[in-house]
Amino acid sequence: MCGRFVIELSPDLVAKVFGLPEVPNLSPRYNVAPTQPAPVIRETPGGQRGLVMVRWGLIPSWSKDSDGGLINARSESVNDKPSFRQSFRQRRCILPASGFYEWARVEGKKVPYYVRMADGSPMPLAGIWDEWRDPNGTLLATCAILTTAANEKVAPIHERMPVILAPESFDQWLNRHVHDAEALRPLCAACPADRIEAFPVSPLVNNPANDAPECILPV
């Protein structure tokens, strides 16, 4: 799964890597948690890419209320679940992250690990989004991160990991006109283990209120 992630990226780099027409206003975040605002990149109706802030925890448009929210969607079944199906086919996005946290159980205790790209590049997390309208007509945009079976690097920590997209798959993933689930499924495979690295970090990350560079320092 993916329950926390990090955004420590230069706005200029984000614009360049993800093909944004403008440099986004993006502040560093070291402990993004569910229900908090998260940046997503999606294709506009005009075919350009844009970065917007949405709430992490997907609420289907047909939901009766905005309580809770689904933070993860299993890529293997995302096309079968009513909560995710339409978003997967029509409303895909990318979350520009630096890495994510996962917790391993060691001698009866949960130890946080930080997983990032081995070369320090951005980590493009595959996401889906939706919009929910409250009784007053106000729209709330939300998102979920897709997960897949862990690769050899993450498996000793947790059995699941977020889908990390390859740069060459961005066009297909964001294309609003691609609705074929079978064509999208290969993009959801676990990234090669040699592309990422993982190391234990401070238990500071256990509290979402802690949002500082110390959260990602190796211990």
**Any idea which residues carry the catalytic annotation?**
2, 102
> DSSP letters along 130-181, please?
EEEE-TTS-EEEEEEEEEEE--TTTTTT-SEEE-B--GGGHHHHH-TT---H
Closest CA to 16 of 165, 121, 99: 121
Any idea which residue has 């780099």 for tokens? Answer: 13
Rg (CA), the chain: 17
**Beta strand ranges found along the chain (DSSP E):** 5-7, 29-32, 37-43, 49-56, 72-74, 92-97, 99-106, 109-117, 123-133, 139-149, 160-162, 196-200
Q: Which of these, 22, 26, 29, lies nearest to 44 by C-alpha position?
A: 22
